[in-house]
Structure 1
Amino acid sequence: MIHPEKIDTLLEARWIIPVEPAGAVLRNHAIAIDQGTIRAVMPGAEAHAQFAPDEHIVLGNHALIPGLVNLHAHAAMSLMRGIADDLPLMEWLGNHIWPAEARHVDSNFVFDGTRLACAEMLRGGITCFNDMYLFPEATVGAAVDAGMRASIGMIAIDLPTAYASDADDYLAKGLALRDEYGRHPLLSFCFAPHAPYTVSDRIFGSILTYAEQLDLPIHIHLHETTDEIRNSLKSHGVRPIERLHKLGLLGPNLIAVHMVHLNGEEIELMAQLGCTVANCPSSNLKLANGLAPVAALTSAGVNVGLGTDGAASNNRLDMFEEMRFTALLAKAQSGRANILPAWQVLQMATLNGANALGIGTLTGSLVAGKAADITAVDFSSLELAPCYDPVSHLVYAAGREHVSHVWVNGKMLLNDGELTTLDEQEILLRAEFWRERMATESKNY
């Protein structure tokens, strides 16, 4: 007689959408989880016979999907949500955001802001975020407390802040942080030069050397505005992408954020060199920067992931919104209703982002051997009825309010809409503390 195998958890749902293979929808299947890892994805009846779980969870009218991967965030900026809205990017940054940061941002600000962001992201089904901000050690602390997966940006910028005196100091501190936490099971690292207009050729050269030695991604704002391109032509004689190409930074490890203003040659270059684009449609729309040519990028073979950007410019950390905008805007731009089908957009929000971060073998799809990073979406609401195609619903009908459960590395972080690792009231109190402090000390933002 064969005895069922003991495991930690068995999850059953009406639909499982594994992302791999592309477009697959598994009905009445189960996910077997043990020690944080997916052991198997199989029909429910077979799972009952093969496994004896300590915990058996049946979600009768839900879809289980890979946890969403937010490929570009400034998590701590959640504490600046709503500051200086309705302004163009450089005025918003130069006259409001950068002065506010200089006055208020320290490790406590980053820790509290990141905890607020983690809470919002978990409630919206996000299990992993790629961050770029000051005091990344505080981001580490907040992400670890929440139990989220995070890619920590080792930021570099040729401007002094309370965090670092110059670009070399930024890099030294970032590398020291990676040395300390590089083996943490929920953390990965990437280099995060802010933008071409804030980083010198010398520092780009140092980053490239380190990135090649350590095999780490490089995460950078690129071709976000026409002003950025105009100023690059004036200062360097070339567009920013060409400058980075000459410096050797374009390649499979590059995560280029925004990429709004591109010509055909640049799109082909990105495809040939294996670069990734992080599309942030809500932020681009709100700052009136333009629209990334996502249909042309994907048609050329460029890996495209999705990001929310920070809550100061979005103002939501909502990957369901980013999926819907990405799909609809690409159709409108291309004039082709069949461009970017729903399964492809879901892949952008999951596996494409994980691959860009170098953790695609760990997360981004629901297959045996990967970490159990899982989001459950409840399809019971009347606004989701009837459901003919659950993948279509995820992109065009469902929202973050329909997320019911979230697991990271097999640990439940959201249970029927309730956070399990974070104290919501404490987070709200800290957010109010910072609002009062910032509102009292300045009337400019």
Structure 2
Amino acid sequence: MNEIADLLIHARWVIPVQPAGVVLDDHTVVVSKGRITDILPSADARGRLAARKVFDLPDHVLMPGLVNLHTHAAMNLMRGLADDLPLMRWLQEAIWPTESRHVSAAFVHDGSLLAAAEMLRGGITTCNDMYFHPEAAAEAFATAGIRAVVGIVMLEFPTPYASDADDYLRKGLAARDRWQREPLIDFAIAPHAPYTVSDRSFARALALAEELELPIHIHVHETAGEIADSITTHGLRPLARLARLGLLGENLIGVHAVHLDDADIELLARHNCSVAHCPTSNMKLASGIAPIPRLLEAGIRVGLGTDGAASNNRLDLFQEMRHAALLAKVGSLDASAVPAHAALHMATLGGADALGMADRIGSIEPGKAADLCAVDLGALHCRPCFDPISHLVYVAGRENVSHVWVNGETRVDKGVQLLHIRDSELLRIASVWQTRFGN
């Protein structure tokens, strides 16, 4: 009698990411109770296994679900609102005034729901979010069925959401208390940036992160101006200031990390920090090219992030993989910098490792959650295919994603229907907010 599993996925290629560079031809991934239980040749699987659900993917790569290490999901509602501006003008003249007028729990819920739909369709199964009203974001992510790390954001100045840093923390911790039993929802402490958070507030963030064993998710060294201002105000570069305050450690995820000198890289490496690389946002805001080859050479964990749709316009990790690889080459004048597998690793296991979740997600290994993505390489623009890893980074796009599973549950089927949420409802939500913005 055949053994019974919950799910069998037969694929032309399985790319487990770990071990590095491995491509398994004509293999099957076996899933039971939301976890990967086996990976074996399809001929063997067909002979001895049966399942409640079976997917035959003869032209597809099966890979781990992508991990978006930095985003502001609710900002999907501001996509294209303020293009072609440098960072501080973008924030001060467009984003912050718009947020002061429109941001609410409903705004965050609806924007996060739209973002989750976009991410899932593009093969992203986990996101690391930073925005206001984390309770509303958590509700949207849970509805969509995406795995999410929700940021408990901190700022010094008042917004319609909170009055000061203590108020941000109080409300964020209340959201965590409410959602901490939801299996797909985790939380992080998310002080916005060194230029918006005081030493006192950083001390509170550190204490809470240590007490609750949470990641610290923070923008840092995004622009040259940020560093110059920190030296003027604090007498230190931002990373040196964070080191003095004790924030650097294996749970710190430094977002952007574009402008780094040798001392900065040494600090990140010595304290075992991670970096969320957002190449498209860095290009669009003219922030610069992050020295990713040097970070990898120093042994620093690097994951990929899209940033928000207001500063990137797409939540597309296939685009980020391609841009990360190409920017590394042109920035270092080394065509071998960040090869395809390194880019894929950053988009999967690198992000999972940075979040402290590498034991759960990021690679296809028995015992891990079945967060999986199938990419159809049968299209004309994907043929011929000599190296499927290379194709994932340099040829395929999110439009080639055919199926997505989170915890073994199907979220996207045949690349068309996002299960559990109707397109008509998502389009209605987008239309309502566009109308409100126009008033």
Q: Place the TM-score, normalised by the shorter chain, in its bin.
A: over 0.9
Q: Which residue of 1 is the match for residue 55 of structure 2? A: 57
| Residues in 1 aligned to 2:391 and 2:170: alpha-carbon distance in whole angstroms | 46
Per the alignment, residue 428 of structure 1 pairs with: 427
**4+ runs of 1 displaced by more than 6 Å?**
none
Query: What's the counterpart of residue 120 of structure 2?
Result: 122
Match of 2:437? Answer: 438
Distance in structure 2 (CA, Å) of the matches to 1:333 and 1:21: 28
Q: Residue 401 of structure 2 aligns to which amino acid in structure 1?
A: V
> Counterpart of 2:250?
252
**1:353-364 maps to which residues of 2 (within 5 A)?**
353-364=351-362
Match in the other structure for 1:25: 23
In the alignment, which residue of structure 1 is the partner of 2:81? Answer: 83
- Of 30, 40, 43, the match for 1:42: 40
What is the aligned partner in structure 1 of residue 191 from structure 2? 193
Specify the SS of the correspondent of 2:190: strand
1:338 is aligned to: 336
- 1:123 and 1:338 map into 2 onto residues whose CA distance is 31
Deviation digits for residues 319-350 of structure 1 (CA, Å, limit 9, x no counterpart): 00000000011011112111211111101000
Whole-Å separation in 2 of the counterparts to 1:132 and 1:353: 15
2:219 alignment partner, one of 215, 218, 221: 221
Match in the other structure for 1:101? 99
Give the aligned partner of residue 297 of structure 1.
295
1:15-414 paired onto structure 2 within 5 Å: 15-414=13-412
How far off is 1:75 after superposition? 0.3
Equivalent residues of 2:135, 2:176 under 8 A apart: no
Q: Give the TM-score, by structure 2 length.
A: 0.98
Q: Secondary structure at the match of 2:390?
A: helix
In 2, Cα distance between the equivalents of 1:340 and 1:287? Answer: 22
- The change in CA–CA distance for 1:329 and 1:404 in structure 2 (over 3 A counts) is same
Q: Distance in 2 between matches of 1:57 and 1:18?
A: 18
Distance 2:324 2:16 in 1: 21
Instruction: Give 1:327's aligned amino acid.
Output: A
2:192 counterpart letter in structure 1: H
Residues 70 and 255, structure 2, Cα contact 8 Å, conserved in 1: yes
Secondary structure in 1 aligned to 2:384?
coil
Residue 183 of structure 1 deviates from its aligned partner by 2.6
Matched position secondary structure for 2:127: strand
Offset at residue 42 of structure 1 (A) = 0.9
Structure 1 unpaired stretches of 5+: 441-445
Query: What is the CA distance between 1:56 and its match in structure 2?
Result: 1.4
Aligned-partner SS, 1:152: strand
SS in 2 for 1:301: coil
Superposed displacement of residue 422, structure 1: 1.5
Query: 2:286 aligns to what SS in structure 1?
Result: coil
Amino acid at match of 1:33: V
User: With structure 1 as the length reference, what TM-score do the two structures score?
Assistant: 0.97
Give 1:48 deviation, angstroms.
2.4
What whole-Å deviation, never above 9, does each CA across 1:46-76 have from its counterpart, x for those lacking one? 2223422111111000000100000000000
What CA distance in whole angstroms lies between the structure 2 residues aligned with 1:236 and 1:137? 34
SS of equivalent residue, structure 1 residue 308: coil
Paired residue secondary structure (1:8): strand
Question: In structure 1, how many angstroms separate the alpha carbons of the residues matched to 2:102 and 2:346?
Answer: 35
User: 1 CA distance for matches of 2:257 and 2:411?
Assistant: 33
Please give the alpha-carbon distance, in whole angstroms, between the structure 2 residues aligned to 1:47 and 1:39.
12
How far apart are 1:384 and its partner, in Å? 0.6
Paired with 2:266 and 2:385, the residues of 1 have a C-alpha distance of 38
Q: Partner of 1:419 in structure 2?
A: 418
Hey, what does 1:443 align to over in structure 2?
none
**Deviation per residue, 1:413-444 (Å, 9 max, x gap):** 1000111121111111111111111122xxxx
Please state how far the C-alpha of 1:79 moved relative to its aligned partner.
0.3
Aligned-residue Cα RMSD (Å) equals 0.9
- Secondary structure, aligned partner of 1:370: coil
CA distance in 2 between counterparts of 1:264 and 1:227 reads 18
Distance 1:126 1:138 in 2: 20
Letter paired with 2:14: I
Matched residues in 2 for 1:339 and 1:4: separation?
Answer: 47
Shift in Å, 1:10: 0.5
Aligned partner of residue 267 in structure 2, secondary structure: helix
The CA deviation at 1:358 is: 1.4
Letter in 2 for 1:303: R
SS in 2 for 1:33: strand
**Equivalent residue of 2:303, what SS?**
strand
Tell me the alpha carbon deviations over residues 221-245 of structure 1, each in whole angstroms, 9 at most, x when there is no partner: 0001111111111110111011000
CA distance in 1, matches of 2:355, 2:237: 26
Secondary structure of the 1:41 match is: strand
Q: What number of residue pairs does the alignment pair up?
A: 438
The AA in structure 2 aligned to 1:375 is C
